[in-house]
Amino acid sequence: MSKERLKKIGIGFLIYFLLCFMLFIFGPSEIFFANVTEFSFIYGDFAGYLAVLAVGGALVLALVTAFLPDVVYRVALSLAFGIAAAGYIQIMFLNKDLDLLGVNPEGYRAKAGTAVWNLVVWILVIAAVPVLSFCKKEIWRKVVAGLAAFLLSIQLVALVSLLLTAKDSAYVREEGDWHLSGEEQFTVSADQNVIVFVLDYFSNQYLEPLLNAYPGATDFLHDFTYYSNVDCVYFGTFPSLPHMLTGQDVDMGMPINDWCYKIWNEESTAQFYDAVKEKNFKVNVYTPDTNILCGLNDVSILEGKLDNVVNTSQEIDINSRLLFKTLIKMSAYRMMPEYVKPSFYANIDEYSGITTVVDNPISHENYQFYQALSEKGLSVDSKSNYMVIQHLMGPHLYTTDETGHYKEDSTLEETAKGCMVIVEDYINRLKEQGLYENATIVITADHGGGYDSQVIFYIKKPGESHDSSPVNDAPVSFCEFLPTLADAAGADASSFGQTIDAFAPGEERERTVWLRWNDPAYPAVPCYTGDKEGSSNVYYGYTYTGDIKDLLEQTQRGPSCIVPVADSYF
């Protein structure tokens, strides 16, 4: 083989490896280490395989192109280097507040104005390289080889830094593991039940499009009273869900991990769970992400409050194909221009599907819950009463069809209808067991949208029956959630605050909804995990008197107050 051919192979390998390194090694690594506390897999589950793919892919491409005509060779290398260089610029300078965990139910939407100039940058960078290769061949060769080596070395140093500073949990799975067990997720009491469906991200503004698309979708809830004016107090599953389950207001000046520890150790929190347990209730909460409840504290802080807290090793099954696919997709997503990003966006359910708990998993995705319910049915326990909080994905992701089954590209309306089908099936199973009449059942959400922060709230009390669902516009909020559950369990609710019954239809009441935000006028704060900068640094408080229309008008006027935070959940 000639010297010139070997030189072509060497330069080709350097340039192709830069691109492969960014896409298959550095991108997935940076995403993983920045969000390690959110993942159940470890670095060794994917790093070696993707490294082999990067090296092998670069070598094959270098060998193939080295034997192509010189013009084709230069164009191929120019395009590869141009994409790598533009991708580096994109990552370092053009990405802003990029959602790397797929938490946006509508996926990624490029902003038209930003996307245009973003695309112009890409075109200029990519076009300049082949032009140089035709005008100044030798200079082109030195420039692309030198810049490729420079960009590669910068990222290699960054990767080494990530590897050396990562937490132990990035490399080793813990043997002991406090967690929430799903063993009794489909178990109810033969006597008294308080059952709550928390459908994630179900704003009360979703009912109109749901019923327009599917008239009669909520007719099965005719025995339930619909509270049409319920605000969630806090936007986001964190901090809304821990607020719902403890009744504790968010201390915005306190670090998240400290606040989570504090709320579960508050005397009033213990009193609530002691009170319902005195009425012979087991309290089981089913949500797969315990960081939402505990931050980085051990799940053992929930012991004595929640009955499905256990300390046993969990056998985890890794879907390697989905792991590689998802990490590569999100690596390309962070690297690609605005117009292309939507094609590579991976929803949070793709991440959650990578690992599966082998024994007693918690079914959280709507379709997974429905499948498990269909297979297992409801078991009945005659020894205890049950308070069950089922946190399902709801319309947070549009991955459920109108029948409650999986659909990759569903719509809000289909997903909302599917959620109603699932809840209806559960209720019908209670009826078949003769347990519906005596049960208290709540169908609600942990939060609505960022601004339409009112949620659906249906409640049926024991013995309640109607031909059609009454609508109550009393101004209530999740400040009344825990007292309402205490009352449903037969405990003294006055010890924990007011129930929803304390407020009359049409009553005027001032309420405040808190929305996390990133305000450039305030200093940046760290993420609660301690290994990256937080995406929000303040809470915007929107104070209003009235209903959802008044809240939306207040959001148009701007926040009533702004409170800086100590750190950020995301």
253-to-244, 258, 259, 293, 525 alpha-carbon distances in Å: 20, 10, 9, 18, 11
Q: What is the mean pLDDT of residues 63-79?
A: 95
Q: How far apart are CA 551 and CA 428, in angstroms?
A: 36
> How many residues belong to the chain?
570
Average of pLDDT values for 442-450? Answer: 96
**Mean pLDDT rounded to a whole number for the chain:** 95
DSSP labels, 462-481 = TT---SS--EE---EEGGGH
pLDDT in tens, 488-522: 999 999 999 999 999 999 999 999 999 999 999 99
pLDDT band with cut points at 50, 70 and 90 for residue 96: confident
In angstroms, rounded to a whole number, what is the distance separating the alpha carbons of residues 514 and 539? 6
pLDDT confidence bin for 102, thresholds 50/70/90: confident
Evaluated on CA atoms 342, 318, 181, 35, the torsion sign reads negative
Q: Which pLDDT value is given to residue 359?
A: 86
Measured from the Cβ of residue 513, the count of other Cβ atoms closer than 10 Å reads 28
The identity of residue 146, as a single letter, is: G
Q: What is the pTM of this model?
A: 0.91
Q: Report d(CA 453, CA 473) in Å as an integer.
A: 15
Average pLDDT over residues 185-191: 98
- The pLDDT of residue 471: 98
Map residue 458 onto helix, strand or coil: strand
Q: Is pLDDT of 301 > 80? A: yes
- Of the pLDDT bands very low, low, confident and very high (cuts 50, 70, 90), residue 9 is very high
pLDDT at 349 over 80: no
Band of the pLDDT at 209, cuts 50, 70, 90? Answer: very high
Beta-carbon contacts of 292 under 8 Å, excluding residues fewer than 6 positions away, are 237, 238, 241, 242
pLDDT band at 230 (very low <50, low <70, confident <90, very high): very high
Write out pLDDT tens, residues 522-551. 999 999 998 889 999 999 999 999 999 999
The pLDDT tens digits of the residues spanning 421-444 come to: 999 999 999 999 999 999 999 999
pLDDT of amino acid 455: 98
445 pLDDT higher than 80: yes
Residue 175 in this model has a pLDDT that exceeds 70: no
- Predicted local confidence at residue 337, as pLDDT: 95
Please tell me the predicted confidence (pLDDT) of residue 1: 67
Q: What is the pLDDT of residue 434?
A: 98
Q: How far is CA 337 from CA 9, 86, 119, 323, 328, in A?
A: 29, 9, 6, 23, 16
* DSSP label of 174: -
Specify the pLDDT at position 512: 98
pLDDT tens digit string along 265-295?
999 999 999 999 999 999 999 999 999 999 9
DSSP bridge pairs for 442: 196, 459
Rounded Cα distance between 204 and 472, Å, is 13
* Strand 385-392 versus strand 476-477 pairing type: unpaired
* One-letter identity of residue 142: K
User: Is 206 a residue whose pLDDT tops 90?
Assistant: yes
Contacts of residue 12, Cβ cutoff 8 Å, sequence gap at least 6 = 61, 62, 63, 65, 66, 73, 77
Question: pLDDT-derived band of residue 13, with 50, 70 and 90 as boundaries?
Answer: very high
Mean per-residue pLDDT, 323-341: 95
Strands, DSSP E only, in 186-238?
187-189, 193-199, 225-227, 230-231
- Least Cα distance to 493 among 481, 475, 505 occurs for 481
Instruction: Look at residue 159 in the predicted model and tell me its pLDDT.
Output: 97
Q: What is the pLDDT of residue 176?
A: 61
Query: Environment class of residue 303 by beta-carbon count within 10 Å: exposed (0-12), middle (13-18) or buried (19+)?
Result: middle
Category of 146 on φ-ψ map: left (φ > 0), alpha (ψ -120 to 50) or beta: alpha
Q: What is the pLDDT of residue 130?
A: 92
8 A C-beta contact, residue 345 and residue 102: yes
